[in-house]
Amino acid sequence: MAKKRDRLEVVYDILKIIRNHNNSIKPTPLLRYSNLSSQSFAEYYKELIEKEFVKEIVDKKGKKFITLTDKGFRYLEKYKMILGFIGEFELWKKYNYFNLCKLAVV
């Protein structure tokens, strides 16, 4: 059975999805790609908006898009650096250095 993602990892995954979609994605595809329930996604999304990691942009046609803020980009950088540190010093149980590297690369 796969390990359940912790809160920081879920935030990282959501921000990474946005970044990987040219920093512009609609809410529904983001929900799908995040692999969270609607309720969990709504909680994370609300927190990301409140903490200014992401912002909503509405285009001329009234369609809503989600983009990263500078703070969101910084989170991605710092999280990746922390993963590298953990892996380099083997501070993580065998949780799979491989998985850590995989997360840090993307």
Q: How is residue 5 annotated by DSSP?
A: P
State the first-to-last Cα distance of the chain, in angstroms, to the nearest integer: 23
Which pLDDT belongs to residue 106? Answer: 52
Q: Which domains does the chain have, with CATH numbers?
A: 7-105 (1.10.10.10)
Q: Is 55 exposed, middle or buried (0-12, 13-18, 19+ CB in 10 A)?
A: middle
CB atoms near residue 104 (< 10 Å): 17
User: How confident is the model at residue 93, as a pLDDT?
Assistant: 61
Q: What is the mean pLDDT of each run of 10 residues along the chain (106 residues)?
A: 81 97 97 96 97 97 97 96 84 58 54
Q: What is the pLDDT of residue 101?
A: 54
